[in-house]
Structure 1
Amino acid sequence: MAIRTEKDFLGSLDIPKDAYYGVHTARALENFTITGVQINHFPRIIIALAMVKKATLAANLEFGLIDEKLAAAINQACDEIIDGKLHEHFVVDLIQGGAGTSTNMNANEVIANRALEILGHEKGSYKNLHPNDHVNLSQSTNDVYPTAFRVGLLLSHADLLAALEQLIGHFKDRAELFKSIYKIGRTQLQDAVPMTLGQEFQAFADTLSEEKQRFRDLEGLLGEVGLGGTAIGTGVNAPKGFAAVACKHLAEISGFSVTPAANPIEATSDTGIYLTWSGVLRRTATKLSKICNDLRLLSCGPRAGIGEINLPPVQAGSSIMPGKVNPVIPEMVNQVAYQVMGNDLTVMLACEGGQLQLNAFEPVMVANLFQSIDIMKRAMRILGDRCVSGITPNIEHCQKNLEKSITLVTLLNPQLGYEISSEIAVEALTSRRTIRELILERNLMSSEDYDALIKESTELD
């Protein structure tokens, strides 16, 4: 393999000649062989980094700090990365020491070497254009990395919301289809009072709809960034006013509302927004898991269980029991939820672990938050497309379960009184007959009035 040699203050290192990364990235490859998941696994992080570099470049141009020819080459390199090129050269492991320095240097080196190529120079000829002196001008990892983290989350926001809204739509469709199917509602896994299957599925849709607003509330918080604060928020090595200009350009480039942090020193060490974002993901995952528990219970059997709904069969369920079909999609979502909950704990511990003017543990927050977003997004789409959209009702079984329930006697209290209702309940239990049969036998109510009573009991105010 053809190589080139680059050096830093630690010494020289051989690098593949065609690689756009340089010596700092190569050292990170040696030091952080941890997860095997490179930052290019999450393209929006790379796009966000390129957007931040493009914005700071524009600010440096306004302040007259960089040659226009060099700036044009750097700008073109940033645009190419934003368009999805060169991502395979962002190779450092997601989990790394140094508070994200390896990721920032990976970006600096790829952009610098592509810019050198555009200018007609060989990769690694940094005397012509330098990763630190030009691409990282007026910046520090400590303001670039958190800003890119936030922009990456904003870039991921739309897809996550779209997946959530699509799933909500599937539940709403089922709710409309099932609105006239009466069944027994349950509390503590015991028979309670009548409801419709449509009401059950509408509740699933509505509880998830609440989460849409929670995610939208995060947008404004993510848009306040510490860009321009450099090392610890004081703005050392950046011209006065740089933060406002850089943020203005980043807002134009990204399309998001981006403003300088009110207190850049506080912003450099504060990671509360990631804890909040992770908490909303955890909350949504918890709700999804509960819904999937319900789907598994409602479909259990199918003949020896509740069996009120049928989940679409998507694969054989057993290597030994012919014809068995398992609720594999809800089970998958349960496990995704557990992973998101675990990721949230990691984010919380990493947020708490910061010291003094910097939190060095943002890389593990990046790894866990972006994994949570990705697996949640995929799980919601699969749940909607391959499960919820194909759910069918067992109408006769719903009716049978409803008729068999002794708790229907609760509906008789207002008309027949507690004593008579209790007598009917006891007789139904001992004789194994239905409440309907006993009511009609005693001429306490007509069949039509009894059906109307059940219907009325399910109507919401």
Structure 2
Amino acid sequence: MAGTRIEKDSLGTMEVPEECYYGIQTLRAVQNFCITQIPISHYPRFLYSLAFIKKAAAAANASLGLLDQEMSMAISRACDDILDDKLHDQFVVDVIQGGAGTSANMNANEVIANRTLELMGYEKGRYDIVSPNTHINMSQSTNDVYPTALRITLILKIRVLIEELEKLARAFEAKRDEFSDVLKIGRTQLQDAVPMTLGQEFGAWGVTMREDMQRLAEAQSLVHEINLGGTAIGTGLNAHPDYRRSVTEYLTAMSALPLISATDLVEATQDTGAYVQLSGVCKRVAVKLSKICNDLRLLSSGPRCGLNEINLPPMAPGSTIMPGKVNPVIPEVVNQVAFTVVGGDITVTMAAEAGQLELNVMEPVIAHTLFNNLDMLRRACSTLRERCVMGITANREHCRRMVENSIGLATALNPYIGYERSAEVAKEALASGRTVAEIVLEKGILSQEELDDILKPESMTAPRQFRSS
């Protein structure tokens, strides 16, 4: 059987499994916070962020003469193991935890300390030689480490979401070009409006995705500001006067991210406004994606008794009782992602509001919610693009027939015969089941030549000059 080692902290002693790189404080957190049963290792980029910070701190402390060079190099190698996807199974604390992220920070401190001890030829647990708090956490506090790790992780996750939105926008734009000659009836309030092309409809969705990419980039710029070096409340207690500058330079170089040290570290340690802003943008993206998916479900409804203007690629049999039924399961799942993200925005909002005085202790739930929302949105965009949008086809003739039979064509008569007479024609067409063109010709309101020009659907999908009657 595997053995244990005895570790001690300010609350007492505990037995820690010998093979584990984490220590007593991590073990206490595992016992205390069995909440989501999702460990912080669920978010690898968060572990990378912690490793970058600890590595940068060790380098800065060594450069300032506060940490032995040999130990600093060993800490750096231990951090590199994490960056190389090793030791991730040792990050076991729950993503939602009390203590403002102290347990996550200590999990990192203990894992790095014990790996450093191994690299220096010592047994795990020899904290008299390499201490999680004294050495790994030197010049730091959870209150500047955790928010900085959170922000680095968000920057990385926003990047990949923007990339997926770009791909989705391109997919919509490809369909815009493919369907540029497909005439259909536009609708407002779910009622017939005026003609447009199916390409215009898909093109608009591409534009809205690109707008959200810009909003995400703006929100991302806010999280480039970090409070590292502020230690407990932003005053820099227990840190060398040059540490803030040095650690920020090292971290920026190691992470290859344009990080900026906050102007006022006291303010930066307590403020969570950037998270609220980002969460709001995520909600915006989710709402727009959900609206588009609602449209896709409407346009593909049927196939015999709905709009049936487009066909979504069939992904799965749709019913256990109705043979042949195929449901729009991909837009449906994206809708549900959107609902989750919108709910998450409420969580982030309330957590940001719940901070008191010099620290917001609710950052773990902010981190978990934002990480999850960004990941879900990224996957939703990829799924929607690959398993739905790219395979959509148009029912061209059906779309054109509906345009020709629509009373919405009467709108084009307004500049020529006036709104009132156009309304009379539309009303009669609706009541009789005849077309607008038939009634106009029967009443001698316009000639066939005039009518053909005015009611030409292709000329009603863009501005045009007209001659009044």
TM range (shorter): over 0.9
| Counterpart residue number, 1:367 | 368
CA distance in 1, matches of 2:451, 2:94: 69
Matched residue type, 2:120? L
For residues 160-179 of structure 1, the aligned pairs below 5 Å read 160-179=161-180
Change (3 A) 1:440 1:312: farther
For residues 339-354 of structure 1, the aligned pairs below 5 Å read 339-354=340-355
Q: How far 1:440 sits from its partner (Å)?
A: 4.8
CA distance in 2, matches of 1:105, 1:88: 15
CA distance in 1, matches of 2:214, 2:347: 25
Cα pair 1:436 1:450 within 8 Å, conserved: no
Q: How far 1:179 sits from its partner (Å)?
A: 0.6
Change (3 A) 1:325 1:78: same
For residues 96-115 of structure 1, the aligned pairs below 5 Å read 96-115=97-116
Cα pair 2:412 2:454 within 8 Å, conserved: no
CA distance in 2, matches of 1:438, 1:58: 84
Q: How far 1:450 sits from its partner (Å)?
A: 4.0
Q: How far 1:460 sits from its partner (Å)?
A: 5.2
CA distance in 2, matches of 1:322, 1:451: 46
Q: How far 1:457 sits from its partner (Å)?
A: 1.8
CA distance in 2, matches of 1:16, 1:114: 15
Within the candidate set 438, 458, 461, 1:458 is matched to 461
Change (3 A) 1:236 1:35: same
CA distance in 2, matches of 1:48, 1:199: 43
CA distance in 2, matches of 1:447, 1:383: 45
For residues 260-299 of structure 1, the aligned pairs below 5 Å read 260-299=261-300
Matched residue type, 1:411? A
CA distance in 2, matches of 1:7, 1:445: 95
CA distance in 2, matches of 1:307, 1:379: 24
Paired residues in the alignment total 461
Instruction: Give CA-to-partner distance per residue, 1:410-433, whole Å, 9 cap, x none.
Output: 101212334542342233123211
CA distance in 1, matches of 2:352, 2:344: 12
Q: How far 1:447 sits from its partner (Å)?
A: 8.6
Cα pair 2:176 2:203 within 8 Å, conserved: yes
1:187 and 2:184 are equivalent in the alignment:
no
Q: How far 1:218 sits from its partner (Å)?
A: 2.5
Cα pair 1:194 1:458 within 8 Å, conserved: yes
SS at match of 1:315: coil
CA distance in 2, matches of 1:198, 1:451: 22
- TM-score, normalized by length of structure 1? 0.97
| Counterpart residue number, 1:409 | 410
Change (3 A) 1:63 1:317: same
Cα pair 1:244 1:259 within 8 Å, conserved: no
Structure 2, unmatched stretches of 5+, are 465-469
Q: How far 1:448 sits from its partner (Å)?
A: 8.1
| Counterpart residue number, 1:22 | 23
| Counterpart residue number, 1:82 | 83
CA distance in 1, matches of 2:58, 2:305: 67
Change (3 A) 1:54 1:460: farther
CA distance in 1, matches of 2:420, 2:209: 42
- TM-score, normalized by length of structure 2? 0.96
Within the candidate set 445, 448, 452, 1:449 is matched to 452
CA distance in 2, matches of 1:427, 1:268: 69
Matched residue type, 2:76? N
Q: How far 1:156 sits from its partner (Å)?
A: 1.4
| Counterpart residue number, 2:380 | 379
CA distance in 1, matches of 2:427, 2:335: 40
Cα pair 2:172 2:205 within 8 Å, conserved: yes
Instruction: Give CA-to-partner distance per residue, 1:141-175, whole Å, 9 cap, x none.
Output: 00000001001111212211111111111111111
Structure 1, unmatched stretches of 5+, are none
Instruction: Give CA-to-partner distance per residue, 1:312-344, whole Å, 9 cap, x none.
Output: 100000000000001100000000000001111
Cα pair 1:225 1:261 within 8 Å, conserved: yes
Cα pair 1:178 1:196 within 8 Å, conserved: yes
CA distance in 1, matches of 2:395, 2:427: 29
For residues 392-431 of structure 1, the aligned pairs below 5 Å read 392-431=393-432
Aligned CA RMSD, in angstroms, stands at 1.5
Matched residue type, 2:452? D
